[in-house]
Structure 1
Amino acid sequence: MYKKILSQIGEQIDWMALTPLLLFFIVFAVVVVVVFAERKGHFDYMANLPLEDDPSQTNPNL
């Protein structure tokens, strides 16, 4: 009985292990593409944000 259960689990373990791995790599690739596609000016703005005294003066959207 256990042999039958373990053999059935062995067949399912392939897709159960591959699905999270593929999902991780897809999400990782999307994040890398988004980060490298972002403008450098946006990163500079975000890097200097904690150093500004009043962000409402520099950001017209606030």
Structure 2
Amino acid sequence: MKRYLTSIFILLSIFFIFMGIKLDLYWSGIAGWGLAFICLIFAAYYTKYIPNEKKKNKRK
């Protein structure tokens, strides 16, 4: 499940930016970009759980 968290967090950041722009409230844009930035940090963290095919081939 952890290998899919990177794509989930990237999609969440796109959603937050889109909703922050569409709501057109006073702080919604700043809050949307802030949440998107946090999601992108988590996405970068969980890239270490994406399997690397080169490492598997070297072990064989």
Q: What band does the TM-score fall into relative to the shorter chain?
A: 0.3 to 0.5
TM-score using structure 1 length = 0.37
More relative contact order, 1 or 2 (CA 8 Å, 6+ apart): 2
TM-score using structure 2 length = 0.38
Larger radius of gyration: 1
